[in-house]
Amino acid sequence: MNRFNFSLRRKLIWSALLCFLLPLVGIYLMTNYLTKDLLLERAVSSSEDGLRAIQSEVNSVLDQTLEISNVALMNSEIRQQIQWGQKKKGSLEEKDDYHLNYSRLIRMLDELLRQYDDFYVTILGKNDFTYTNYSYSDYNPYKLYSQPWFEKLDHAPAFSTYWVGLQPNYYDGVEKKESYVITIGRPIRTSSNSIIGYVVISVNERKINSVLTKKMNQSQQVMLLNEEGIVMSHTDRSFIGSRMDWWGQSENDRTVDINGKKYVYAEQAIHANDWKLVSLIPLSSAISKNRQILLISFGLQALFFTIFCILLTVLIATFTKPIRDLSRFITHIGRGRLDMRSGIRGNNEVTLLARTIDNMLDRIESMVDQITIEQTGKRKAELEMLQAQINPHFMFNLLNSIRFNILSRGDRENAELIESLSSLLRMTINRDNEFITLQEEINTIGHYTRLMNFRHANQVRLDVSLNPGCERALVPRFMIQPFIENAIIHGFEQFDGDIFIEAELIEQQQGASDIKITVRDNGAGMSKSRLEELHAKMDKDQGNAKDGPGQGFSGIGVLNVFQRLRLIYGRKVYTELHSEEDVGTVIVIQFPYETKTR
């Protein structure tokens, strides 16, 4: 257990360290969390900027393909030559004109297409007109008619383009191993919308691949995908022709999971068709530079934190040295070394506390001597008190012996008087219980009335009426007796009379009950001025033993009874006092009904 009982200095050091370390870790975690999206946005923005440059060049390559096909579609000489081909079987002069125009057209097309080395242009007329910018020994253009996609050109609208997409390179004059071409086909239609020929143009995929590879960053993947997610070109040629399973995600997505690895995703549309240019950069690589900056910043903070901890430890050790000395001093005091003094000097709070303890020890030493003297006197007083306690018991036993003696001689009246006197003395001397039952209070009143009748030689009669359950109610001891005493002494004035005591239970809210006790007599009563004086004292709570009509036997005045009830029950007590001269006095008290001691 002691290994966890740290000193104040260690607690201060650890508290300071925690107060600095927790915010430091919190700042790092919050910065890492809050900048995660920002770093991702920057990575996506950088990727999109690079992708736009690639998009421009890829669009240029595909636009060149369309431009070449537009030459074949829009050139009137080509259309005328295809249509004249129908007349080459005519006269000799027509045949010569046809061959002359054909040779001139071929030279013009060769001169025009000489700059497009990576493009393979094929023009096929239905009248056997054919033009290619490659040798027939490399590839026979009539084999295009057997391609499965060629028939779709017959259904293509005028001036529309059918994007065949990726195909294996079938031209013999180039390296065919792992070589592909991207092909488009367009029909040549007359003004009457009849097809007179076809234009098929293929561009070597390596031309696009060179653009993707030239512009890519390290660890970046750039690819050209068609609308079905098939790779038309890729920086990694092993993916060409394969389908990307992750394709088709929302444009708002910034990352994509591929084989359990996250990539920063960016795309740009190709305006010539529905193809997409896509960039993938590993997320860890994209944000690595920014994360390195964050780690360097955290490392500097940790370095400053270490220096701060060393400085803080030294300062706390210096500042807490007086506290440590005071702790040792108090430990010696706890072991009984009251003659020691701290000896701590300085001008701070600890020094003030040490001086206060020294002064306190001086006073304690003087008080110990005084207490020793007082304890001696106290033991003497306790012995005297013990002797005094013997006398009441002796009196009770003596009175009981006298009562039995008188009773044995047949004098029942005097025996009852002695019994009443003994009971009253016991009730007066025994003040251990503040509350007694209402029945015990009524019994005490009966004894008191019997003695007062004997003393004054008059006859005061008691009429007690208790509703069922009232006799068990707990009431303050000597609560009713002062009312009886006041009625006998002041109300009847040595004459006979009647005193009526009534008790009833009154139901209150939530199942609680109050007990209402009414004490009335048919004595002399009080004058109006005296009654108003008593009411004023009751309202101001000024009643005490001297204010009542006399303290009497119990030493408790009538007004003191009201004051006691207010102190015990507070606002829950209700009191009334009515009196009329030559009629009598009525006293009503009402308070919570209880049968268990508080």
DSSP string, 408-467: HTT-HHHHHHHHHHHHHHHHHH--S-SEEEHHHHHHHHHHHHHHHHHHHT--EEEEEEE-
Show which of 266, 283, 300 is a domain's final residue.
Answer: 283
Could you tell me the pTM of the whole model? Answer: 0.47
% of the chain exceeding 70 in pLDDT: 80
Regarding whether 370 and 235 lie in a shared domain, the answer is no
pLDDT at residue 563, rounded to an integer: 86
The per-residue pLDDT for 502 is 95
Residues 582 and 508 in one domain: yes
State residue 438's pLDDT score. Answer: 92
Q: Are residues 384 and 455 in the same domain?
A: no
Rounded CA-CA distance 559/546 in Å is: 9
CB half-sphere exposure, 424, CA atoms < 13 A: 18
Instruction: Judge if 92 and 171 occupy the same domain.
Output: yes
Task: Kindly state whether residues 129 and 242 are assigned to the same domain.
Answer: yes
Give the mean pLDDT of 321-345. 76
Asked if residue 486 is part of any domain, the answer here is yes
Per DSSP, the three-state class of 108 is helix
- In three-state secondary structure terms, 505 is strand
Given a contact cutoff of 8 angstroms between Cβ atoms, the answer to whether 341 and 358 are in contact is yes
Strands 435-437, 584-592: pairing is unpaired
The answer to whether residue 106 sits within a structural domain is yes
Last residue of a domain, one of 220, 250, 283: 283
455 and 363 within one domain: no
Task: Among 49-63, 167-181, 380-394, 486-500, name the one with the lowest average pLDDT.
Answer: 380-394
Residue 320 lies in a domain: no
535 strand-pairing partners: none
pLDDT of residue 8: 62
Give yes or no for residue 89 having a pLDDT over 70: no
| Whole-Å CA distances, 505 to 492, 515, 517 | 30, 5, 9
Burial 89-121 (b: 16+ CB within 10 A, else e): eeeeeeeeebeeebeebeeebeeebeebebbbb
Task: Give per-residue pLDDT as tens, 206-245.
Answer: 888 888 888 667 778 899 998 888 999 988 888 888 888 8
Q: What is the CATH number of the domain that holds 507?
A: 3.30.565.10
Q: Of 189, 209, 212, nearest to 51 (Cα)?
A: 212
**Bigger pLDDT: 13 vs 397:** 13
Tell me the pLDDT band of 588, cut-offs 50, 70 and 90: very high
pLDDT level of residue 542 (50, 70, 90 thresholds)? very low
* Same domain for 198 and 132: yes
Domain of 454 in residue numbering reads as: 448-539+556-597
Query: In this predicted structure, what is the pLDDT of residue 34?
Result: 64
**Domain-embedded: residue 7:** no
Does residue 97 sit within a domain? yes
- Note whether 212 and 233 are within 8 A (CB): yes
Please count the CA atoms within 13 angstroms of the CA of 230 that sit on its side-chain side.
Answer: 9
Given 283, 298, 318, the domain boundary residue is 283
Would you state the pLDDT for residue 548?
43
Q: What is the mean pLDDT of residues 382-403?
A: 57
Mean pLDDT of 375-383: 66
Residues 256 and 375 in one domain: no
Mean pLDDT on 186-207: 88
Q: Output the DSSP codes for 138-165.
A: T--GGGGGGSTTGGGGGGSPTT--EEEE
Confidence class for position 475, pLDDT limits 50, 70, 90: very high
Q: Which pLDDT score is estimated for 36? A: 63
Q: Check residues 268 and 502 and name the one with the higher pLDDT.
A: 502
pLDDT at position 466, please? 93
User: With 70 as the cut, is the pLDDT of residue 553 above it?
Assistant: no
Letter for the amino acid at 204?
N
Q: Looking at the DSSP assignment, which residues form a beta bridge with residue 122?
A: 132, 200
Lowest mean pLDDT: which of 49-58, 275-284, 310-319? 310-319
Shared domain for 358 and 271, answered yes or no, is no
> What pLDDT sits at residue 302?
76
Residue 19 lies in a domain: no
- Per 3-state DSSP, what percentage of the chain is helix, strand, and coil (rounded to 5)? 55, 20, 25
Can you tell me the mean pLDDT for 344-357? 76
If one compares 173 and 265, the residue with the highest pLDDT of the two is: 265
Answer whether residue 227 is part of any domain. Answer: yes
Least confident span in 148-152, 465-469, 553-557: 553-557
- The CA–CA distances, whole Å, from 435 to 270, 487, 512, 563 equal 101, 23, 20, 16
Residue 499 pLDDT grade (very low, low, confident, very high; cuts 50, 70, 90): very high
Indicate if the pLDDT at residue 1 is higher than 50.
no
Q: Are residues 380 and 486 in the same domain?
A: no
Average pLDDT on 543-564 reads 59
Integer-rounded Cα Rg, in Å, for the chain is 60
Give the residue from 264, 216, 221, 262 showing the smallest Cα distance to 240.
221
- Do 457 and 384 reside in the same domain of the chain? no
Amino acid at 500: F
What's the DSSP call for residue 479? S
Strands (E), 270-423: 276-282
For residue 312, pLDDT over 70 is answered with yes
Region 555-577: mean pLDDT is 83
Q: Examine residue 44 and state whether it is found in any structural domain, yes or no.
A: yes
Contact call for residues 216 and 241 (beta carbons, < 8 A): no
The tokens for 223 are 């690819």
Residues 376 and 525 in one domain: no
In this prediction, residue 547 has a pLDDT band, given cuts at 50, 70 and 90, of very low
Angle between helix 321-334 and helix 8-74 axes, rounded to 10 deg: 140
pLDDT of 452: 82
Q: Could you give the number of structural domains in the chain?
A: 3
Position 470 scores a pLDDT of 93
